[in-house]
Amino acid sequence: MHRPIRSQRRGSTSISSPSRTTGASRTRRIVRQPALARFAECESTPGPENVDDAALDAFIRKTAITVHHPAGTCRMGAANDPLAVTDDEGRVRGVEGLRVVDASLMPDLTSGNINAPVIMIAEKIADRIRGRPPLAPDDAVVRCASVDRVQPGGGR
């Protein structure tokens, strides 16, 4: 069995190069302003040797990392959806015994931390794998700015 290949292809095109180098150049100008210059004795990164756009771009390509959460890379959908990679239980189409149970199933990132939604996805699919029925709808009332709001599923 071969090891899986995982590549986000970050920085693989020149399309984002100008925005990368522009961001680095602007940051340098900001830090050199009198209000901040006294806090910056010297530039350690990317370093004074990386002056022109080509050098800055090469430095950024070599050292850049991501702390974002990739999501939406394995579309979940109906059997007749040609773009769906998985079914509603996270099973990868065409690959027996493989499921996706992470943020890859999410159509987009949430506006907050994705930890809780990913745990929910994993727990729901784990329940399906174990043959457990879905939880019953919860009619909990959520208090918000002194107004009662009803959760989906009915109730108050």
10 Å CB burial of residue 17 (0-12, 13-18, 19+) is middle
10 Å CB burial of residue 80 (0-12, 13-18, 19+) is exposed
**From 20, 69, 124, 128, active-site residue:** 69
Distances in Å between the Cα of 130 and the Cα atoms of 8, 93, 125, 154 are 33, 20, 9, 28
Return phi, psi of residue 87, to 5°. -90, -175
69 is catalytic: yes
Q: Give catalytic residue positions.
A: 69
